[in-house]
Every structure is written in structure tokens, then in C-alpha cells.
Amino acid sequence: MTKTLGTDPLGSPLGPNAKEDDHFHDECGVFGIYGTPDAAALTALGLHALQHRGQEACGVVAWDSHLPARAQSTAPEDIEDPVGHFTGTFSAHRGMGLVSDNFSSQSVIDGLPGSVAIGHNRYATCGASMLRNVQPIFADLAFGGFAIAHNGNLTNAYTLRESLVGAGAIFQSTSDTEVIVHLVARSHKATVLERVTEALGRIEGAYSLVIVAEGRLMGVRDPHGVRPLCLGRLGDAYVLASETCAFDIIGAEYVRDIDPGEMVVIDADGVRSLRPFEKTSSRFCIFEYVY
């Protein structure tokens, strides 16, 4: 079984590791899918196709609307969503190593039921490898469960973390991504979409995100378009991924790229496009062409 947290001491949330060593590098891969009972298995396949973007660690979080609102996880602690309006069961499996090391067992896939899932491949860092930094990250927030995976680098993450810790926030990892979770949690906006929009309005840097909340799959790309994010379709299901090779391996059809500054929301009504962030001059990373 994969543990969600490592056994290493957390140390100071503002120590040197928080600032330098354990940031996710830019080449991480993200994948998300909505609307198929094989969501976890397809996510694992998508991550396998994106393995070149990160080999240190990987993880999948799935959401199932047909189970009681109590999470069952392959991790030692259950992930529970206490609200129950849109929610059912969140389950998670995260581990160090390659996708094949962690998701080849049918029992692991069977432990991730649901029609919505997101996944993440982590690129090796110059610092220590720690299981507590493996994505996707999950948290129980006021509106229910919130899972997020991030490709990119937030240039003001340390400043925001310092402010959040000073205000009483408790961090469980040293990743940039957890800063976003805390900003969403502290937002007083009425809806999840408004909370996410407000949180992202405070961050600077490059990001492509996949998020599961309230039974929806969301994808967001930063206004500069530094990191890629693509939309695909597999029958009645929709797929988000860092690269189209993840569509090829599952037989999905490429639809389009997510535009810089765009947020897509995928639910039972289909795909909705929002543009809460003003598009700026393109700064697409040229190294994406060689990853």
C-alpha cells in the first residue's frame, strides 16, 4: 500500500527545503478524465505515455459518485468528503518510482473506483525524494473534497507560503501546489470556481492544473501559456493532458489546446470554457518541443 505521507520529519514549513530543494520541476506531467467507469485505469495509461515528463514519483486520485460519502483509499488514512451534495468517494494511490512500478496491479486499479480521475508524474528534483510531496494533492475543504495536480513553477510561492504560515496555515508538504490549496481554502467566494479563480489571481509563474471538486473536472492554464494543456474526447468522456501522446495511448481524439488564461469545466453538461484571466504575451517554453 502506498502511504500518503513520508516518515521523514516535516521540519520547518519555511526552511530551506520549502524554498528550494523540493519544488516540482517544470517538466511534470498531468492527466485528467471525466465520464468513464475506467477513469483510474485510463489515467494510469495516460501517465505511462507521459512518463518522459517525470520519473521520480506518480499518483492518481479518483472520484466515485455511486458510493457513500466516505472515502476508501489505498493510503493508510481515508480521504473523506463531508459535504455530500456533489460528492461520493475520493480514493488515492501515490508512490515513488515509475507508473509501471505503482499501477501494474489490478488490485491497485480496483481500489480507485469512479468516473473522474486525475494523475501526476513528478520530475526528479535536486533535493530529497519525499512521498509527502507526491501529487495529486487532496484536501477536505468547506465545500467538500478538492484534488489538484500541477505542472509548472510558482515564482511567488515562498512569499505566499510565508504569509499563509504567519496567518496560521499548516503545510504538510514543501510543494508549490499546496500553496494553491491553502489559497482556495481561505477564499470567501461563494462557489468553487470563484474560489479557484481568486486563488490563481494571487499566484505568479507557470502552471497547468487539473482539479477535481464537486464532481467536476477542471483544467486551467496560466495567462502566459508557459506550460501546455490539451483537451481530448473518448466517446462520451473528456480528457485533459499535458501532451497528446496521452490521448493516443487510450484511443482518445484530440480536440484542441487549452488557451492561455483559460479555465475549462467538465461535468454532466459537457465542457464549459471560462476566461477569468486576461491573456498576456505568450511565453510558451520552447523545451516543451523536446520533452
What does each C-alpha distance from 74 to 48, 65, 120, 268 come to in angstroms? 20, 18, 17, 27
DSSP 214: T
Q: Is the distance from CB of 146 to CB of 213 less than 8 angstroms?
A: yes
Return the active site residues.
28
Q: Return all residues near 144 (Cβ < 8 A) that are at least 6 apart.
A: 81, 82, 83, 84, 85, 86, 87, 213, 214
Which phi and psi angles does 263 have, rounded to 5°? -120, 125
One-letter amino acid identity for 60? V
Q: From 18, 98, 115, select the one nearest 62 (Cα to Cα).
A: 115
Helical segments of the chain, H only: 16, 39-49, 99-102, 106-110, 157-166, 176-186, 192-200, 245-250
* Cα dist from 184 to 21, 22, 190, 282, 289, whole Å: 24, 22, 11, 26, 32
Query: How would you class 163 by CB atoms within 10 Å of its CB: exposed for 0-12, middle for 13-18, buried for 19 or more?
Result: middle
Query: CA-CA distance, 52 to 194, in Å (whole number)?
Result: 34
In 3-state terms, what secondary structure has residue 277? coil
Angstrom distance (rounded) from CA 271 to CA 171: 33
